[in-house]
Amino acid sequence: MQIQANVSLGAKLFLSRVLRNPRQLGAIAPSSRHLGELLARHAAVDNYSPIVELGGGTGSLTRAMIKAGIAPHRIYVIELDKALAHYLKETFPKAHVIHGNAAELENILPPHILGNVHRIVSGLPMINIPEEIRQQIIESCFKILSPEGALLQYTYSPCSSIKSNAYGLKKKRLGTVFLNIPPATVWQYRKC
């Protein structure tokens, strides 16, 4: 009930943050339910391991993961924008929302989950992020993932937004969602 009431508030907040910082938000609208469902399906690999979400925004992907049956206490949402992080904390009180930078995951996540994360779900606007920071984010992701873990990233381009070869990663296209504004393609990255 609380989550539903917060959805329209979220839409207004998303728009106001886009107008304030379009590059950091990197989208004209929150992800659709359909994109959330695809990501949630690939994030739910078991019933217990922590899932880290990068760039929570107004919670479209968090909402989809909870709806898909992932217990909120398993979800750690990282959001750089203070107002959005505050909104996420209020909307998803049982999830762990951290106001922080995805380039510093090993410093901002609780120590007991480091190395135990099987999936990272990223809504970060990778192509807007300078290469140096992007590198820090990707390295940080693979510091906290388990050896068999994977990073899931969506992009509005049909091509991968991460140069997998440069980071020693193998990539796999998980699908394209046309019912999203704009249509988005989801990629999975693992260590070679």
Which residues have C-beta within 8 Å of that of residue 17, sequence separation ≥ 6?
A: 25, 81, 83, 84
The answer to whether residue 149 forms part of the interface with ligand SAM (CB under 6 A) is: no
Of 55 and 149, CB closest to ligand SAM = 55
CA dist 41 and 152 (Å) reads 11
The answer to whether residue 141 forms part of the interface with ligand SAM (CB under 6 A) is: no
Q: CB of 58: closest distance to ligand SAM in angstroms?
A: 7
CA dist 141 and 103 (Å) reads 8
Find tokens 């296209």 and name the residue: 173
* Tokens, residue 73: 């206490």
3-class secondary structure, 88: helix
- The answer to whether the CB of 72 falls within 8 A of the CB of 95 is yes
Q: Shortest CA distance to 173 belongs to which of 155, 146, 192?
A: 155
Q: CB of 120: closest distance to ligand SAM in angstroms?
A: 12
How many chain residues bind ligand SAM (CB under 6 A)?
23
Contact set for ligand SAM, span 15-54 (CB under 6 A): 24-27, 30-31, 54
Q: CB of 36: closest distance to ligand SAM in angstroms?
A: 7
Contact set for ligand SAM, span 64-93 (CB under 6 A): 78-81, 84
Of 131 and 148, CB closest to ligand SAM = 131
By the criterion CB under 6 A, which residues form the site for ligand SAM? Answer: 24-27, 30-31, 54-57, 60-61, 78-81, 84, 101-103, 123-125
